[in-house]
Amino acid sequence: MAHILSPVYLVGAGPGDPDLLTVKAYRLFREADVVVYDKLVSPAIMDLIPPGTTRIFAGKQARNHHMPQEDINELLVDLAMTGRKILRLKGGDPFVFGRGAEESLHLAKHGVPFEIVPGITSSTGCTAYAGIPLTHRHLAHSVRFVTGHTKDTDGLKLKWESLADPDTTLVIYMGLINIREITEQLMAHGLDAETPAAAINHGTRPEQRVLSTTLKCLAEDISTAQITGATLLVIGQVVGLADQLAWFPKAAIPDAQAK
């Protein structure tokens, strides 16, 4: 009789605040035998994993991979074959710039069942905690989610003309490394240099920092503020509402005014 494998659970941990975890994610924390987790999973969320659960760090950040993606894919298959309950814990949502599709496709290729547990992606979680609505009927009719880091070594291959839309909120993941190229290309393709822009650092966490500025000043202000680590970039007219809508204690203090 063939051994029936239990599914590998690809779970979104959200942007950092443990209160934003789904009920299903929290239940799986209590049931998992092994947790394979990313760098972007906050310490507060890791603290919810019961003592005795095996933890395997598979953290990645731009240009610094603790474990290559191919090795992570193979690890999940190997762990599944042990018969234990495996939880793959990813920051944000597994299917929003989280490589969850690559991992689930690899599991499917090897006949390993899996389940996807959505998480709150940073584009919605971090902007909400910064008081920035992604859409507003008078300011933004659409929102675009874009990666600011690709495999290309000779610049970002993005459709800049379509991104430089004054009626759209632009949310950029992993954009710190290429921030100067991003801002210069958007301005070169017609987006007003005075467009409101923000950098949300460690959004939804106690250490959250929000820098509010303009498109033309964004790269320089980020450098001056020495912002590093998990940061979401938001560009669009809705950023101008942050002063009125900031409700989270750390979100009301832009770095540029905190000196």
Q: How far apart are CA 60 and CA 68, in angstroms?
A: 8
Cα separation, 204 vs 130, in Å, equals: 8
Catalytic residue check, 159: no
Locate all alpha helices (DSSP H) within the chain, ordered by sequence: 23-31, 43-46, 69-80, 100-109, 122-129, 160-163, 179-188, 218-225, 242-245
* From 38, 93, 165, 221, active-site residue: 38
Catalytic, out of 17, 24, 39, 60: 60
| Cross-strand partners of 54 | 34
- DSSP strand pairing (231-235 vs 168-173): antiparallel
Q: Which residues pair with 89 in a beta bridge?
A: 11, 37
Cα 259 from Cα 209, distance rounded (Å): 13
Active site residue 33: no
Tell me the β-bridge partners of 196: 214
Known catalytic residues? Answer: 38, 60
